[in-house]
Structures are given as C-alpha cells and as structure tokens.
Amino acid sequence: MTWAAKPSGTRPIETRSEPWVTSAMKDRWTANLLPKYETTHGALMPVLHDFQHEVGWIPLQAMSEIAAFLDIPPGEVLDTATFYEEYHTHPVGEHIIGICQSIACEACGHQAILDHLRDRLDIEPHETTADGRFTLMALECLGACDTAPCCLVNDDRHDNLTIERLDEIIDTLPDKQS
Ligand code: FES
C-alpha cells in the first residue's frame, strides 16, 4: 500500500488583487492581540478568530497574509486553520448548525437529529444549502455531556435537544440578508 501525498506544495492559491487582511485589522491586532502574547505566533488563533468573525471564513490568500503579518511560516497558519473545526476554510452559510456527534450525544440520539437535518436541509455534514442559508456541521464534544444531545446554532449552544426543539430554533432564525 502506498500513501497518496496531497499536492499541497504545488496547489495553486486562488488570489484576488485586493488583500483580505485590511489595515484596520492589522491595527486592531497590533493594539489588542499582539501585546497579550510573548510571541507573534501565540496570537495566531485569536487573529484567525477575529478575521473569521469579520469575513465569515478564511481563504488561503488570507492565511498567507496573516502569516506575513505574524512573521511565521504560511504552513503553520494552514495547519492551525485546518486542524480546528471552528475555523472555516470555505465559505459557509448564513447560519451554521453543528450537531455534536461525540459519545454522550451519540448515546442520547444525535443520529436521529442529524438524519432529520439531512432530510430537512437536503445536505450532508460540512455542506451548505444551495440558497446559502444553512451550513450543517457534525462537531466533537461541546462540553455539555450531562445535557446531551446538544447542538451549536451559530454561537449559541442548545442542550437536551429534540427534533421538535431544533425545528423551532431553525424556524425562528433571522434572514440575515433582509
Ligand atoms: S458528547 Fe456531546 S456535548 Fe459532550
């Protein structure tokens, strides 16, 4: 058996002429984040969070720009952004619905909830609906095993979840485009 290597070194990076990392972001990171860490490397995760909070996801070009800002290798930014589920390396929907799939939630019926969402949204985990409204995620433990099953809808965690409750939550999500 042989391992197929990913062509990361030769993969073309989609770029645009306008930088993703703005002067305002750099000023904010310099003032608010860098002073909290002994090295610029230490600020990588909060910088990624801040960028994603503003843009919604983290393109490869932005990772390269963040690496230049922090003076660290681009590969370290890529490794971090692709290791943690909380970072999105592709555009996501207006609302992100993450169903916990770790052991407590699995034992308390997460599969039925996930299957219901698959049917309702007509997508698989890590996909976005055609109208761009929802992204479905399957997440690891949300730290609320005693109230499993749980989900994360955008930034809010919901415990003791049922299909009916989740439907109610989804039905009342605002349309961000209006
Ligand atoms: S297993 Fe789902 S919150 Fe811990």
**Top mutation candidate among 85, 102, 159 for ligand 1, by most atoms within 8 Å of CB:** 102
Is residue 177's pLDDT more than 70? no
Residue 110 lies in a domain: yes
Domain range for 40 is 23-83
pLDDT band at 127, cuts 50/70/90?
very high
Q: Establish if 89 belongs to a structural domain.
A: no
Average pLDDT over residues 121-143: 94
Q: Choose which residue among 108, 114, 141, 161 to substitute to test ligand 1 binding: the one with the highest number of ligand atoms within 8 A of its C-beta.
A: 141
Q: Is residue 88 part of a domain?
A: no
What pLDDT, in 10s, does the model give residues 64-122? 999 999 999 999 999 999 999 889 999 999 999 999 999 999 999 999 999 999 999 99
| CATH label of the domain that carries residue 114 | 3.40.30.10
Look at the chain and report how many structural domains it folds into.
2
- pTM value is 0.81
φ and ψ at residue 152, rounded to 5 degrees = -120, 120
Q: Which candidate, 98, 100, 96, 60, places its Cα nearest to that of 81?
A: 60
What is the 87 CA–ligand 1 centroid distance (Å)? Answer: 19
Residues 103 and 157 in one domain: yes
Please check whether residues 75 and 102 belong to one and the same domain.
no
| Of the candidates 78, 28, 18, 79, the residue with the CA atom closest to the CA atom of residue 53 | 28
Instruction: Indicate whether 159 pLDDT > 90.
Output: yes
Within a domain: residue 125?
Answer: yes
Cα of 138 from ligand 1 centre, angstroms = 11
- Mean pLDDT on 148-176: 94
User: What is the predicted pLDDT for the residue at 1?
Assistant: 62
Average confidence score pLDDT of the chain: 93
Residue ranges around ligand 1 (CB below 6 Å): 100, 102-105, 141-145, 148, 150
118 and 138 share a domain?
yes
